[in-house]
Structure 1
Amino acid sequence: MIQVQLFIPCFVDQLYPETGMNMVRILEHLGCVVHYNARQTCCGQPAYNAGYTDEAKNVARKFLHDFDQDFYIVAPSGSCTGYVRSSFDEMFADSAEQKQCKKVKGYLYEFTEFLTDVLKVESLDAALAARVTYHDACGALRECGIKEGPRRLLSMVRGLELVEMQEAQTCCGFGGTFAVKFEPISVGMAQTKAESALETGARYIVSTDVSCMMHLQAYIDKQQYPLQTIHIADLLAKALFAQA
């Protein structure tokens, strides 16, 4: 039995808890024993990106101590996973936490990455009749190198048609505080992404990160486009467990 610790990022915890629950259902369905440390909080990425490096390090230090078991750590977020992988080494270089930092990074996986690279999932008894398109979230694609894995998982769902959009690898425009500080640019980027998805005739825009989905869904709703964003864990759960 593979032991798994859940890392539930802030956006999932506060706004999309069903995504975390669906990830648990899938992991257990695939034979994992799932653990959740309720003391966990944030990885520190928002503070770090805003320039508050000391505060970010304090939060990151807690993150390291919260995940002190020798189990895999799985997160429904390429953004948070990518941040830990790309920023923690420098933050904890030549510190008392350096060894724990290395261990945590070695155990940490984004959800789809864990399914394809660790569990080696090659088939799913799943079905969903829908046309979808895939959004490559920046953290997943650029920091974690996740590209083919999610598409491979989607290809395992009977009845699902994946149609690539032209702007699949283009940023959605969220970027945390970027969307607040540079709102017109952020909205323009969301427009580019949403219109590219619309051209495919897809019902769903699928991705690894709910922050991207939240940003795009707000634009989609305002324009009243016939599109729905969905995290890949939610879509796979819908397909696996025949959710309405």
Structure 2
Amino acid sequence: MLRSLTCSLINAKLIKPKQFSSILKRIHFSSLDIRSISLPFQITETRYLNYSAFVGINSSRSGFSSLRLVRKMASQSAKPQSVHEFTVKDAKGNDVNLGMYKGKILLIVNVASQCGLANSNYTELTDLYQKYKDQGLEILAFPCNQFGSQEPGTNEEIQQFACTRFKAEYPIFDKVDVNGSNSAPIYNFLKSSKGSLFGDNIKWNFAKFLIDKEGHVVDRYAPTKSPFSMEKDIKKLFEKA
């Protein structure tokens, strides 16, 4: 009860560090839930030891190491574990929570209308979608202009190209960056979940990520990989489910 109240007071900035010290006299510092506290100052090893001595609690460097471990674990637990935790923009700029695809098998692809790989990939993606959409396959296409400037059009033009020429019924989202400092968060997650033989960065248009029903990245395929050649992996996920 006291710990919960202390955390609430700190987060609300209703108490100062000196007031916090009087509370620490009754609570061992390492017992606090670090994830629920926004401390009013940066904790370093020196401050931890000095502060512990000031408030009269038992402390040691090993205690500080434990504190750092708790913070590291808290930070890791805050990282997304599934694509379902992301919200992206559709072609009209509306937010789309990818949690709506829970229970679906996903194929996420960065597309480009003017790429030499467009004809074969769009054709095969459309065929795969028609074949497996009733079983729960969804294809999420993210236009990207980072490779040879081969996706220069507007979202409307991109949609018209995919839907008219290739009869794509799956969603075409807002144009994104997949590499660099402005890389879309969903792509940072995909790349960190499944690196490539030649590094994490996307190498070209039509790189593909296969996602299971829980939103976990199962596999990653090179831009030149034929969507038809992935069919056996997609079927395995349906069979597993």
TM-score by length of 2: 0.26
When the two structures are superposed, what TM-score results if normalisation uses the length of structure 1? 0.25
More helix by share: 1
Task: Indicate the structure (1 or 2) with the bigger Cα radius of gyration.
Answer: 2
